[in-house]
Amino acid sequence: MDTGTVLRNLLTLAWLLPLAGFVAEIYALQLRWSHRLSKAPAQLAVACIGAGFLCSLSALLYWGNETKWVGFAPVEHHTPAEGLDGGDTAPADALRPDATGGEPASEHHHQTPKFYAGTFYKLAQFGPLEITLDWYIDSLTLVMFTMVTFIATCIHLFAMGYMKDELTEEYEDHQVHLPGGHHFTRPGRFHRFFAFLSLFCFSMLGLVLAGNIFQVFIFWELVGVCSYLLIGFYVERHSASTAANKAFIMNRVGDFGFLIGLMILITSLGTFRFFDVTTADGAEQTGLFSLVRGDDGKLDISDDPSVTKSVVYLRDSHGHRLVDGTTPRTISYLLLIAAGLGVFAGSIGKSAQFPLQTWLPDAMEGPTPVSALVHSATMVAAGVYLAGRFYPMFPPEVLLGIAYIGCITLFVAATIAVVATDIKKVLAYSTISQLGYMMLGIGVGGWAAGLFHLVTHAFFKSLMFLASGSVIAGCHHEQDMRKMGGLRHKMPITAYTMLIGVIAIAGLAIPGVGNALFGQALAFSGYHSKDAIVASALAFSELNRNPLHNILFIVPLVTAGITAFYMFRLWFMTFAGQPQDEHVYEHAHENPAIMTAPLVILSLLAAGCAIGGEDGWLYCLLSFSETVPTVDRFTSERVASIVIPSHLDARDVHGTAGGLALLAAFAGTTVAYLLYCRKVVNPDDIRRQAGGVYDFLVDKWRFDTLYDVAFVRPCHIVASWCQGFDQKVLDVVLHASAAITIVVSKWERTFDEGMVDGLVNLIGNSTTNFGRSLRVVQTGRLRQYVMWIAVGVVVLFAALFTALPK
């Protein structure tokens, strides 16, 4: 078996195992292999996802071994001059086709193929338009698979402890109040929770494995529905089912854009595939990436200066322009931008970016393991993953849009996190903010930086969510930080693993200490990845002369400080200081090993996964999959003047950016320490001083109110209009015509009875009357008859004589 087939088999197994698990778990009680009080469904789920992790890890290692570990070490950085000559440089190889499903196609270059790809089966074919389920495996896929399955395994284990309340026939839901004043009770749903988690893992892995954009859309929606099921797990709670609906519908708003992107792609480019395939008759079906980027990773834009007339020539994998008869095949530049923005709209919904961010905080209604897995580490990062995967299709104008969306999001969310008091809400806003960082990184050309942050964030954020879950479980479902405090004495493991996460996300580091060992500052993962993003942003804003773009650097820098502030605020409020609520503190306890062990494991990874920074294995692995060359700058003058910086540009400013970011992080940490630990100033005073701003932030910038007024209510009004139109117009017209028919029939009856029948009757009657009047002469008296004869004869003769001519 060649490498591609092995990788495909391993990852397909990892992908399908959770699906099998789902079926078995959802029918655990019907099929009677388990019962309501048994942990067996959870064990099955852990077994499935754990086996999936082993498959993914072996795939990663197998791939590393087959490729002589080239992807794990830093590559020689080409000078820009080398990068330009295309041909045999590494980025060009990214677009080498892998025609026959797994055959390393660039063997003749004596280089490692960038990816392996192939087709599972065909969904539909309409002439040349073929829609299939494909697989596409590169180092990004492998890293995502390993990361997702690993974190999912940890979270499954944690959930076995966290959800144990459900192992009962009589689960009392304290958040649901029945009219009688007592709480709602129901049978536990332990097995169903794990079934949904398994289904989610299946969908998420399918999304990562997808080899075409249509397939991404399929699994995109499936993770959405899993998220819906998990947010609404406590179906009895109105707030939970409403949050679930909100999440799904907000995502569908983004998917509406995604759908428009798909329409443009299938109509203009005729394919959804990422990669090229050779059909049985030897013809090449060029995939999206080659069509748009050719073999050198560049857009082949026509020289037309007018933006509306600019077109991008479609090319095959050898860089030759494709022709349709004699005319070259092209896609209008504006349409390419529209397609990019459309697909990115999907990312906006899924990754809770501005302006669709409002669903994610509400999604915290789901159980905490769900928040950790779905709403921080994996699913919401899928939007970033898609932006990264689809990167070759984005012209610079779209990238600029992505950067600005990310920039707005990271700031808005961070400001709200500052005032949130629910421990999970703080983490939720922090997630939105960090996703904004990733988007920003991708938008300013730091492709690997953005995805690097995706992976590191997944580790430290799932860690922090689980730690918050541990706090919530330990404090008997208390989520308000104002009632906590001093918990580190009661729950030391939770507190200190959480601290690792907080340091990681804040981006704190000790410069100079680690240099001897790693060539980098001694720091946890978040420092490295955030550094890389901020450096790309600085390079971007320096290269682009437009002063407006400076905010793309300044805002994330300031927000780095805010991030450090609100994360330490969370930690200090929860774990440090004096207990604020005796009742909560009294009953708080550390959780059993099944919940703390995942915390410890994840904290190790949160601390160490990014070791070595941009020369470390993780960053190198990710940047190995880079599909668009970043060795030289990319300039676009079409819609706006945009320069996408190269790696070297980012490297040049790395020191400056890193230093400034570190300064901001320390500033934020210090302020949090002074306010919430030393209590130099009472935060309540500040709150009173800035009442308006505070309320505005507590109201989440009033997006919910705005959307309610601008969209939800108008929708219901239009709905009632439609309903009214049916009843008041269409049916009325119908009833009126029916009524008119009846009226006309009545007239006809009157006419029939009055006129037609009348006439007939008149004739009949007059005949009768005439006959009746004649009856009087029939007297039977002879004398009278004789007289009438005589009169008749006289009259006849008189007539005869008067009428006859003389």
Under the criterion CB under 8 A, does residue 39 sit at the interface with another protein? no
Cα gap 412→432, rounded to integer Å: 9
Nearer to another protein, 164 or 192 (CB): 192
Cα gap 505→503, rounded to integer Å: 6
CA atoms within 13 A on the CB side of 652: 10
Nearer to another protein, 217 or 429 (CB): 217
Nearer to another protein, 184 or 694 (CB): 184
Helices H / strands E in the chain, number of each: 32, 14
Under the criterion CB under 8 A, does residue 225 sit at the interface with another protein? yes
Under the criterion CB under 8 A, does residue 264 sit at the interface with another protein? yes
Under the criterion CB under 8 A, does residue 84 sit at the interface with another protein? no
Least distance CB 441 / another protein (angstroms): 29
Q: 6, 54, 70, 176: which one contacts another protein (CB under 8 A)?
A: 176
Instruction: Provide the token pair at 518.
Output: 């790693």
Query: 139-162 and 190-209 are packed helices; what angle lies between their axes, rounded to 10 degrees?
Result: 170
**Phi, psi for 584 (deg, rounded to 5):** -65, -45
Nearest one of 284, 128, 255, 273 to 215, comparing CA atoms:
273
Under the criterion CB under 8 A, does residue 522 sit at the interface with another protein? no
Nearer to another protein, 19 or 667 (CB): 19
CB 300 within 8 A of CB 313: yes
Under the criterion CB under 8 A, does residue 66 sit at the interface with another protein? no
Instruction: Provide the token pair at 454.
Output: 């995706």
Q: 147, 152, 253, 402: which one contacts another protein (CB under 8 A)?
A: 253
Least distance CB 315 / another protein (angstroms): 19
Least distance CB 222 / another protein (angstroms): 6
Could you give the string, one character per residue 630-669, with x where binding to another protein holds by CB under 8 A and - elsewhere? ----------------------------------------
Cα gap 369→473, rounded to integer Å: 11
Instruction: Provide the token pair at 647.
Output: 């790696």
The residue type of 55 is C
Under the criterion CB under 8 A, does residue 126 sit at the interface with another protein? yes
Q: 5, 43, 245, 656: which one contacts another protein (CB under 8 A)?
A: 245
Cα gap 602→772, rounded to integer Å: 119
Q: 217, 344, 565, 676: which one contacts another protein (CB under 8 A)?
A: 217
Least distance CB 182 / another protein (angstroms): 11
Under the criterion CB under 8 A, does residue 723 sit at the interface with another protein? yes
CB 474 within 8 A of CB 491: yes
Nearer to another protein, 370 or 643 (CB): 370
Sequence-distant (6+) residues with CB within 8 A of 267 are: none
Cα gap 246→224, rounded to integer Å: 11
Where does 623-697 show beta strands of DSSP type E? 634-636, 642-644
Cα gap 67→90, rounded to integer Å: 14
Nearer to another protein, 5 or 242 (CB): 242
Under the criterion CB under 8 A, does residue 222 sit at the interface with another protein? yes
Nearer to another protein, 53 or 217 (CB): 217
SS3 (DSSP) at 165: helix
- Segment near another protein (CB under 8 A); pick from 213-221, 396-404, 464-472, 617-625: 213-221
- Segment near another protein (CB under 8 A); pick from 35-43, 124-132, 417-425, 434-442: 124-132
Nearer to another protein, 70 or 260 (CB): 260
Instruction: Provide the token pair at 717.
Output: 């009004």
Nearer to another protein, 214 or 460 (CB): 214
Q: 252, 633, 651, 702: which one contacts another protein (CB under 8 A)?
A: 252
Least distance CB 186 / another protein (angstroms): 5
Under the criterion CB under 8 A, does residue 248 sit at the interface with another protein? yes
Least distance CB 346 / another protein (angstroms): 12
Nearer to another protein, 130 or 614 (CB): 130
SS3 (DSSP) at 304: coil
- Pairing mode of beta strands 330-332, 642-644: unpaired
Q: 20, 73, 263, 791: which one contacts another protein (CB under 8 A)?
A: 263
Least distance CB 381 / another protein (angstroms): 20
Under the criterion CB under 8 A, does residue 713 sit at the interface with another protein? no
Cα gap 278→295, rounded to integer Å: 16
Kindly state the DSSP code that residue 422 receives in the 8-state scheme: B
Nearer to another protein, 244 or 564 (CB): 244
- Segment near another protein (CB under 8 A); pick from 221-229, 276-284, 405-413, 660-668: 221-229
Nearer to another protein, 29 or 600 (CB): 29
Using CB under 8 A as the binding criterion, the count of chain residues that bind another protein stands at 58
Cα gap 424→422, rounded to integer Å: 6
Residue 327's H or E segment, with its range, is: strand 327-328
CA atoms within 13 A on the CB side of 729: 7
CA–centroid distance for 547 within its chain: 32
Nearer to another protein, 57 or 176 (CB): 176
Least distance CB 563 / another protein (angstroms): 33
Nearest one of 581, 560, 576 to 674, comparing CA atoms:
576
Q: 5, 241, 278, 550: which one contacts another protein (CB under 8 A)?
A: 241
Q: 94, 159, 262, 384: which one contacts another protein (CB under 8 A)?
A: 262
Q: 517, 706, 709, 730: which one contacts another protein (CB under 8 A)?
A: 730
CB 21 within 8 A of CB 198: yes
Under the criterion CB under 8 A, does residue 743 sit at the interface with another protein? no
CB 548 within 8 A of CB 400: no
Nearest one of 538, 517, 501 to 615, comparing CA atoms:
517
List Cα–Cα distances, 600 to 460, 466, 603, 631, in angstroms.
Answer: 11, 11, 5, 39
Cα gap 254→494, rounded to integer Å: 36
Cα gap 542→538, rounded to integer Å: 6
Instruction: Provide the token pair at 268.
Output: 């203009």
Could you give the string, one character per residue 316-335, with x where binding to another protein holds by CB under 8 A and - elsewhere? --------x-----------
Least distance CB 246 / another protein (angstroms): 9
Cα gap 333→641, rounded to integer Å: 15
Cα gap 198→26, rounded to integer Å: 10
Nearer to another protein, 208 or 502 (CB): 208
Q: 32, 128, 326, 771: which one contacts another protein (CB under 8 A)?
A: 128
Under the criterion CB under 8 A, does residue 260 sit at the interface with another protein? yes
Nearer to another protein, 70 or 131 (CB): 131
Torsion sign (Cα): 421, 425, 427, 431? negative
Under the criterion CB under 8 A, does residue 616 sit at the interface with another protein? no
Under the criterion CB under 8 A, does residue 20 sit at the interface with another protein? no
Nearer to another protein, 82 or 731 (CB): 731
Under the criterion CB under 8 A, does residue 731 sit at the interface with another protein? yes
Under the criterion CB under 8 A, does residue 734 sit at the interface with another protein? yes
Least distance CB 16 / another protein (angstroms): 12
For 730, other C-beta atoms within 10 Å of its C-beta total: 10
Under the criterion CB under 8 A, does residue 704 sit at the interface with another protein? no
Instruction: Provide the token pair at 675.
Output: 């306010």
Radius of gyration, CA atoms only, the chain: 38
List Cα–Cα distances, 379 to 262, 298, 370, 403, in angstroms.
Answer: 21, 31, 10, 20
- Give the footprint of another protein on this chain (CB under 8 A): 26, 30, 121-129, 173, 176, 178, 184, 186, 217-219, 221-222, 225, 228, 232, 235-236, 238, 241-242, 244-245, 248-249, 252-253, 255-256, 259-260, 262-264, 266-267, 270, 324, 715-716, 718-723, 726, 730-731, 734
